[in-house]
Amino acid sequence: MFTVKQENFSSGRCKIETAVLKGVFILMRKLISITLVLFCLLLCGCSSVVATGQRELLGLTILIDPGHGDTDVGTIGVSTGAYEKDTNLQIAKKLKLALEEHGVIVLMTREDDNPLGPADETDLALRKEADMLEREKIISEAKANLLVSIHQNAYDEPDVKGPQVFYLQYNNKSYGVEFAKSLQNALNNGLKPDSPRNVGSGNWRLLKQGKQPGCIVECGFFSNPEEELLLQQDDYQNKIVEALVKGIETYVKKYGA
Ligand SMILES: [Zn+2]
């Protein structure tokens, strides 16, 4: 009997120990579950931070104007004789892709080198005027949030170089100054030119169209032998584009669009 009692007692302790073990096991499972949930939340939190950065420009419409085109070649590179119009289009297309990756709806005044006006117009001045009128129409009808016109600069002194952004100034009023500053800062930070430039202003015909802030981006000087070569390099063009996207993001974060 005693023995049985002992056995009973022993089996009772076993039951208690089993119950305790079960409790510990359940507790551990709960801890693992909580840890997993916390880990997932942390991951989701991190990815939502990334997504927020990507979302900054989501749904905006940005109009890109690759300067010149067709019979208007723009400035001509001092080292290679390259046409400004071609480099403008290359950079504009890269900018289009980069902005689309940020969820931007990108419109362009031109996507190739075809004339925007009548192709049979032989008078070059009239041909250019028809092109400009068509660009003005595209810009005013686009109702974009922002306008970026891509160009390459030229100057009499070959030493002059570096990117410069221009805003519109006419009738004693300035337009798009903060947008220009934001792009200029981003280009100066991204390209690190020897002598960083400040924004400039001008009475630009195309910037008068539409209600959106707009800028003329002179990516660099085709009259500087080294910079002309750089401006045609894929890597350098990518750096320009990266800087412009950052500049646009900074502007939109600060001022909206
Ligand atoms: Zn130009």
Here the CATH number for the domain that contains residue 203 is 3.40.630.40
212-249 tens-digit pLDDT: 999 999 999 999 999 999 999 999 999 999 999 999 99
What's the mean pLDDT in 1-29?
45
39 and 163 in one domain?
no
Dist. CA 154 → ligand 1 center (Å): 9
29-59 tens-digit pLDDT: 554 554 444 443 444 444 444 444 567 899 9
Dist. CA 83 → ligand 1 center (Å): 10
Half-sphere exposure of 225 (CA within 13 A, CB side): 1
Q: Would you give the distance in Å from CA 200 to the centre of its chain?
A: 21
Q: Domain boundary residue among 13, 30, 55? A: 55
174 and 103 in one domain?
yes
Residues with CB under 5 Å of ion ligand 1 are: 67, 74, 151
Dist. CA 200 → ligand 1 center (Å): 15
Find, among 257, 245, 247, 231, the residue nearest to 100 by Cα.
Answer: 245
Per DSSP, what are the bridge partners of residue 174? 169
44 and 149 in one domain?
no
Dist. CA 238 → ligand 1 center (Å): 19
88 and 20 in one domain?
no
Task: Say which DSSP state 76 is in.
Answer: B
98 and 41 in one domain?
no
8 and 62 in one domain?
no
151-167 tens-digit pLDDT: 999 999 999 999 999 99
Q: Which domain holds residue 23?
A: 1-55
In this predicted structure, what is the pLDDT of residue 257?
Answer: 82
Strand 200-202 and strand 164-170: the pairing is parallel
Q: Domain boundary residue among 19, 38, 55? A: 55
Q: Domain boundary residue among 40, 55, 70? A: 55
208 and 94 in one domain?
yes
81 and 1 in one domain?
no
* Residues 165, 190: Cα–Cα separation, whole Å: 14
Residue 163: count of CB within 10 angstroms of its CB: 26
142 and 27 in one domain?
no
Dist. CA 13 → ligand 1 center (Å): 91
201 and 75 in one domain?
yes
Dist. CA 105 → ligand 1 center (Å): 24
What's the total number of domains in the chain?
A: 2
Dist. CA 29 → ligand 1 center (Å): 67
48 and 83 in one domain?
no
* Residues 88, 96: Cα–Cα separation, whole Å: 12
| pTM metric for this prediction | 0.80
Residue at token pair 């802030």: 213
